Amino acid sequence: MPLYTCPRCHNTFPSTDKPSACPECGHQWPIPASEVEFNTYYSTRLASIRESCAPGMTMDERNWTRILLFLNKPMVSFYTSHLLRHYVLEATPEMCLDTYRGFRWEYTRMVKQDRIALQLEGFKESRLLMRREDGTPLVKGWDHYGAALRLLYSFETTDPHKAPNLGNITRIDLERIAAQPSAAYTQFLWNWLEAVKDVPSPMGFLLSEAKPLLKLMKKDENSIKGL
């Protein structure tokens, strides 16, 4: 559903037709939401959906859902909802696992890229880790850590004083998440799909964020052709 925003109270809200007034303050001329407003609206909503399901998930699932949300940007929800429905929720465990492996490959690639960039900036990751009270890692050059690498540092681990590494990604038991997901994890995926299924498709151009998702779909088309 398209999003609109109120120039007076800055409320962002979905509406099928062009709304005549802001539902919050009654201002007469809501305007289409900007890309930033669009992303903020959905990121906040999806994060709270994840929060509400997280207590019932396994630690692996909680880390994995962070990766899924990171790779599936709100702007590309048109593709995300397709992938969630046909390649995860309604797919066989084998096909679901295949999709997950594609996501893991892509995320690992991004983390490696961030690490190279960090080294080029002259910073070195340490093996041990201290955190500030708000949970931020106490490491030199934290501002130079890329988004994918920062996400890795937000993972739950069994030893909070050991810095996370690629092992924290490869050790996520995707076979189990694909074949025997917890009820809370599955609920999270359905709620996610419900929240984004009406997000309009990006207009006419290929967003760079959509490329990894399109690659995942393409792979499957090729395997069907190969049969």
Shortest reach from residue 25's CB to Zn ion, in Å = 3
23 or 160: CB nearest Zn ion: 23
The reply on whether position 6 binds Zn ion by CB under 5 A is yes
The conformation of residue 140, written as its DSSP 8-state character, comes to T
Is residue 61 within 8 A of residue 182, CB to CB? The reply is yes
| Secondary structure string (H, E, C) spanning 167-198 | HHHHCCCHHHHHHCCCHHHHHHHHHHHHHHCC
The reply on whether position 33 binds Zn ion by CB under 5 A is no
Q: How many residues bind Zn ion (CB under 5 A)?
A: 8
The reply on whether position 21 binds Zn ion by CB under 5 A is no
Which of the stretches 14-22, 38-46, 90-98, 170-178 binds Zn ion when contact is defined by CB under 5 A? 14-22
Q: How many residues does the chain have?
A: 227
Which of the stretches 9-17, 32-40, 71-79, 176-184 binds Zn ion when contact is defined by CB under 5 A? 9-17
Which of the stretches 15-23, 55-63, 145-153, 155-163 binds Zn ion when contact is defined by CB under 5 A? 15-23
- Binding residue (CB under 5 A) for Zn ion from 3, 5, 22, 50: 22
Q: Is 102 exposed, middle or buried (0-12, 13-18, 19+ CB in 10 A)?
A: buried
The reply on whether position 27 binds Zn ion by CB under 5 A is yes
Is residue 33 within 8 A of residue 12, CB to CB? The reply is yes
Concatenated DSSP letters of 149-166: HHHHHTS--S-TTBPP-H
15 or 58: CB nearest Zn ion: 15
Using CB under 5 A as the criterion, which residues of the chain lie in contact with Zn ion when the complex forms? Answer: 6, 8-9, 11, 22, 24-25, 27
